[in-house]
Amino acid sequence: MDILELLYRRRSIRKYQDRPVSNDTLELLLKAAACAPTASNNQPWEFVVVNDKDIMDNLRKGLYFGQYNAAAAIVVCANMDLAPKGPYKEYWIQDCSAATENIIIAASGLGLGTVWIGAYPNKAAVKNIQKALAIPEEVIPLSVVYTGYAAEEKEPRTQYNPKRVYWNQYDSERKHRARNKNLKHI
Ligand SMILES: Cc1cc2nc3c(=O)[nH]c(=O)nc-3n(C[C@H](O)[C@H](O)[C@H](O)COP(=O)(O)O)c2cc1C
């Protein structure tokens, strides 16, 4: 499949078939995750793969915005003992986001559905995930990728908006500058 078509087809799936995802397939997703770039090639990530039904149920309970029936999940974490020290510490967020995106794109290419459930910086979600999966305090879950075989279809699309794009220099005076509809601008 053409790479752009693959990107257009990736959509968040929130209804899943009652069909397991094989360990081999989950491992392919982990390999895709580990193709992601990381700052200074630091790779601060660790992954918790969940495919046990009871543990999935426990994980799901702690995710207020993750009440979906996926068969499996990959929890993308950063181990703070592996993250850079000092001012570059926060790069772990970008590193783990890149890994998360790789997982969901690869899953889409392999015919699986996914939805990215945000964990960090939601303190309650982080705590609940750590508790459900026995993750120690220094290992911070950034995202939970639910995965399984889709039981819903979504239209391929891009949300490309030229109003969000500037070429070479930002133009604060531009008349058709995008506005957040919920915010008042003066
Ligand atoms: C950082 C992040 C956190 C997200 N958290 C959730 C979540 O908790 N629950 C959920 O159903 N979707 C979540 N999503 C998925 C978005 O809602 C979804 O990507 C967005 O609505 C666009 O739809 P699409 O993925 O089908 O293109 C999250 C996405 C990102 C990038």
Q: Give me the sign of the Cα torsion angle 9, 15, 17, 19.
A: positive
Q: Which two tokens stand for residue 112?
A: 């699986």
Report the pLDDT averaged over residues 159-183.
84
Q: Options 3.40.250.10, 3.40.50.620, 3.40.109.10, 3.30.70.260; which CATH number does 3-155 get? A: 3.40.109.10
Q: Which of 115, 126, 161 maximizes ligand 1 atoms within 8 Å of its Cβ, making it the mutation to test the pocket?
A: 115
The alpha carbon of 65 and the centre of ligand 1 are apart by a number of angstroms equal to 9
Atom of ligand 1 nearest to the CA of 100: 31
Q: What is the mean pLDDT of residues 135-162?
A: 98
DSSP classification of residue 19: -
CB 80 within 8 A of CB 103: no
Query: Which tens digit of pLDDT belongs to each residue from 53-96?
Result: 999 999 999 999 999 999 999 999 999 999 988 999 999 999 99
Mean pLDDT of the chain: 95
Q: Whose CA is nearest to atom 17 of ligand 1?
A: 12
SS3 at position 61: helix
Angstrom CA distances, 76 to 42, 89, 116, stand at 15, 17, 10
CA of 13 to the centre of ligand 1 (A): 9
16 lines ligand 1 (CB under 6 A): no
Domain chopping of the chain, boundaries: 3-155
pLDDT digits (tens, 9 = 90+) for 81-137: 999 889 999 999 999 999 999 999 999 999 999 999 999 999 999 999 999 999 999
Residue 76 · residue 141 · CB < 8 Å: yes
